[in-house]
Amino acid sequence: MAMIRQSIDIQVAPSVLYSQLTRFEEFPRFIQDVEALRRLDGNRLHWTVQAANRTVEWESIITEQIPDRRIAWQNSHVPGTTGAFELQPLGTQASRLTLTLEFEPEQVPDAPAAFRADDMSRRLKQDLARLKKLVEQQPAQAAVQNAEPTRPRRSEGLLPQTEELDAAAGSDASDPARAMADSIPDEERSDETDNRQEDKNDENNERERRLKHAFGRTMPPLP
């Protein structure tokens, strides 16, 4: 029976690391030769691995799962082949992850004849290094994705200054009647003035005609 144990310190809280380890479908992102890993039900996992230039599949059973502390499994077809992730907090924002594997080299599916525990240990060390990089980069990526867009500042010339807005509105901008009058074009305003003058002249002429009729003589023009 061979046993391999590898540890690595990762700069994330145990809860963050545990959450990543329970996303089994993402194991191919950091474990070499694993093509796919699916959770069949509550405690069964289906592995698809590339080994010795061919695809090998098997199932394992999760034997223990303690949130933020431990995940253990066992090969369904080879009971002596087991593995476990153990998490140890290092402060509030760091964790030590330890991976332990126990197996019989000759029972590893499709293992080459020269397969040795040293080879497996080297590969697992590389796998944990990839996991460390994956997990530590995720908080930074999430911060970038969730960042709110920066609003333009007035000093950048993208928004008008308050003083400019006030000047454009004018000192009487709060007076609705004045604002409405200011909105009338000059040509329409001139026509309206002429019409009022004509109406006033017509009214004066009518008054003069009535006075002439009443007194029978010419009246001086009304002012």
Going from N- to C-terminal start, the domains of the chain cover 2-145, 172-215
Residue 158 confidence (pLDDT): 45
**Given CA atoms 106, 108, 112, 118 in this order, what sign does their dihedral have?**
negative
Helix (H) or strand (E) holding 149: none
User: DSSP strand E in the chain: where?
Assistant: 2-10, 34-39, 44-51, 54-66, 70-75, 82-89, 95-103
The token pair that represents 163 in the structure block: 């003083």
Instruction: State if pTM tops 0.75.
Output: no
As given in the structure block, the two tokens for residue 65 are: 């799962």
Phi, psi of 102 (to 5 degrees): -125, 130
CA 189 to the chain's CA centroid: 55
- CATH superfamily placement of domain 2-145: START domain (3.30.530.20)
Q: Give residue for tokens 């590893």.
A: 108
Residues 66, 133: Cα–Cα separation, whole Å: 24
**The pLDDT value given to residue 160:** 46
Q: What is the pLDDT of residue 213?
A: 58
Cα(57)–Cα(125) distance, rounded to whole angstroms?
Answer: 23
Q: pLDDT tens track of the chain, all 223 residues?
A: 789 999 999 999 999 999 999 999 999 999 998 999 999 988 999 999 887 788 989 899 999 999 999 999 999 877 778 999 999 999 889 999 999 999 876 665 555 544 567 888 899 999 999 999 999 998 655 544 444 444 444 444 444 454 544 554 454 444 555 555 555 555 555 566 666 666 666 666 666 666 555 555 444 554 4
Distance, in Å, from the CA atom of 103 to the CA atom of 89, rounded to the nearest integer, reads: 28
Q: What integer pLDDT is reported at residue 194 of this predicted model? A: 62
